[in-house]
Amino acid sequence: MPGGKLPATTNGWKEASDDPEQIAAWQRINPDFNWAVACGLSGIFVFDIDPAGLDWWAKLLERDPAIRVAVDNAFQVRTPRGGLHIYFRGEGPSTASRIAEGIDTRGGILKDGEIISGGYVVLPGSRTDKGSYEALPGGTVAPLPSYVAAIVPERKKTDTLGLDRNPDADKPRNVQWAIDLLKGYVANGRVSVQGAGGNNTLFQVAASILDKAISPGMAFDLMGEHWNPACSPPWDEWELEAGIRNAAEYGEDTKGGVKGFQANEDAFAAFVGQEFEPPPRRSRFAPMWLHDARKDVRPAKWLIPGFVPDTGAGILYGLSGTYKTFLALDWALCLAHGIAGQWNAPPVKHTVLFLAGESSYALRSERVDAWCEKHNVNPDDADFIIVPGVPNYSDTEGWQEIRDGLLAMNAQPSFIVIDTLTRMMTGMDENSSNDGKLILKHCEEMAAHYGAFVLGIGHTGKDQSKGLRGTQVLIDNAEAVHSLKKTQNGTSMRVVKLKEVDIPPQLFYFDVEKIGASIVLNRTENEPDAIEQKAGIPRNDWASVEEVSKILEGCPDRSTSTAIVVQTITSKYNVPHDKVRAALLKNNDLTFLRPNSNIYRIPKQEYDL
């Protein structure tokens, strides 16, 4: 990841490549990526010496001249915290503080044609918040001498038969549940990393697997296959066994490997005798006859019918002031309360997660209070979770904090709002298709992890006719896209894209109703231009002294042509040119700003008395 040591790939070093085209593709995705070498796959063995291990390392070199000569001639890299990476060619295990405190190794061992105990080191030229990795002058990557390899203690063997196994507890549904959980941990970066609380992570993950009515012996097998290889470095078998044993002994209700849930018997009691094997999964690209394919057709599933699908990622965008947050909040609170609202939503209560990067205090108090008063519901009855901010894409700790918080709350959101995507893209190029792909992929992975729909709120540029500000890739690949434009008394919404069904051709209009210290949006069938106005009074808020003055304030000499004023209002509010021009001419209050029919100007002070 940019500025860090965690992999940007889902499976870490297992996805390493020596293909120049793949490496160039990664570089195009994000030129700020740091780079690392997968040691075992590259036939490289590295001593990773933290500052805490430098004294011991220096004493080792003093007492063994042969090792000192080999190290002096080796390729070395100074780490940002002042440690050392010392490179050799050869095979060896990845270890953590087994030689001495603060001295790790990164390598790999070939077993049955497969690299086990793999690992990686960050390469020179990469940077973290502590500084950069710098190659020291001289030195080569020479073969690993046997007397240097002998520094690493032999791997301890383990007999996992010492861990209890309980076939009655290890039911297929529980095993699959545990596998899905472990894969989710890997996808979201919840793996052990040396120097970043790795022991604590091992304990927590092991406890969470035992918690699913999995025996310790089965937990060892599952974690060894689906989780441990992604750790940095992977745990040795004896270390993994010890971690699981500790979790079974000291974790809350995990002793013996079965927390309870009566092995889920209570939850499944109504289905005893009705178990079935799921059908084999069809290949994504298997050819089908049309008559068979038609049998597989399923209706689209919705959170908000016709507007918000039940899964995937989507975009809601518009200019500032088009009430994007209020519309997203309307959807969110309908779902969180389980009411139809003005959307004909099914009466099913959903957990909602709202990342409020803008006006989070007003959202959680005034805006929610106004909506709940309008719909006569209690704010405290909503299954609504708020995060007072949006982590940027590379803020791994921030996203992990959200995941851990939801896990602690035992919450699985069905609808997630990110307000706004701009805040999530801090430090990225919003016009870059590669950065756009990263953002959308992050949203899609979040949606897949929770089985939710993730809605990102975006902005248009000053010319909203050009659509969403930034890269088009967000719209091209989203499941659902909606745009908002300011109208006379509120806003209008157009469904730009829905992957599952045809999009409705009509616009949806909303009036603004003030309630307390905030407002709510009310759907209306009346088009804004159809509302009658009294003669001599401007038809629209945009045909006002305030709106025209704002335009003139941004112009040189605070004056511009009538054509520019009309074009600006047309683009901002999506109203035809002729209607804008006519409304401006009918407003007699604008006479002092219009010296003639072709010019608008703010009078100079000496004439404005």
The answer to whether 188 and 403 are in contact (CB under 8 A) is yes
Domain count, the chain: 4
Is residue 3 assigned to a domain? no
Does residue 584 carry a pLDDT above 90?
no
Is residue 297 assigned to a domain? no
Is residue 106 assigned to a domain? yes
Closest CA to 386 of 367, 348, 374, 186: 367
Is residue 484 assigned to a domain? yes
pLDDT tens sequence across 65-103? 999 999 999 999 999 989 999 999 998 887 777 788 788
The larger pLDDT score, comparing residue 559 to residue 607, is at: 559
Is residue 328 assigned to a domain? yes
Which CATH number fits the domain that encloses residue 371?
3.40.50.300
Instruction: Tell me the C-alpha distance between 93 and 421, whole Å.
Output: 42
One domain for residues 125 and 180: no
Lowest mean pLDDT among 118-127, 129-138, 578-587: 578-587
One domain for residues 492 and 555: no
> What is the residue range of 97's domain?
12-149
Which CATH number fits the domain that encloses residue 116?
3.30.2250
Domain finish residue from 478, 505, 529: 529
Here the tokens at position 123 are 């390469």
Please tell me the predicted confidence (pLDDT) of residue 273: 43
Q: Considering Cα of 541, then 545, then 546, then 548, what sign does the dihedral take? A: positive
One domain for residues 187 and 144: no
One domain for residues 238 and 116: no
One domain for residues 19 and 74: yes
Is residue 277 assigned to a domain? no
Band the pLDDT of 455: cuts 50, 70, 90: very high
One domain for residues 356 and 490: yes
One domain for residues 342 and 490: yes
Question: Which segments within 27-182 are labelled E, that is strand?
Answer: 36-38, 44-49, 75-78, 84-89, 95-100, 103-106, 109-111, 114-116, 120-122, 127-128, 131-132, 134-135
One domain for residues 92 and 118: yes
Is residue 83 assigned to a domain? yes
Burial class (CB within 10 angstroms; exposed 0-12, middle 13-18, buried 19+) of 335: buried
pLDDT tens sequence across 238-260? 778 878 877 777 665 455 444 43
Instruction: Tell me the C-alpha distance between 216 and 512, whole Å.
Output: 58
One domain for residues 144 and 20: yes
The larger pLDDT score, comparing residue 302 to residue 195, is at: 302
One domain for residues 477 and 525: yes
Q: What is the mean pLDDT of the chain?
A: 79
The larger pLDDT score, comparing residue 514 to residue 174, is at: 514
One domain for residues 446 and 482: yes
Instruction: Tell me the C-alpha distance between 211 and 222, whole Å.
Output: 14
Is residue 247 assigned to a domain? yes
Domain finish residue from 149, 178, 210: 149
Domain finish residue from 529, 558, 591: 529
| Mean pLDDT comparison of 110-114, 329-333, 420-424, highest-scoring range | 329-333
The answer to whether 600 and 587 are in contact (CB under 8 A) is no
One domain for residues 402 and 524: yes
The three-state DSSP-derived secondary structure of 541-601 is: CCCCHHHHHHHHHCCHHHEEEHHHHHHHHHHHHCCCHHHHHHHHHHCHHHHHHCCECCEEE
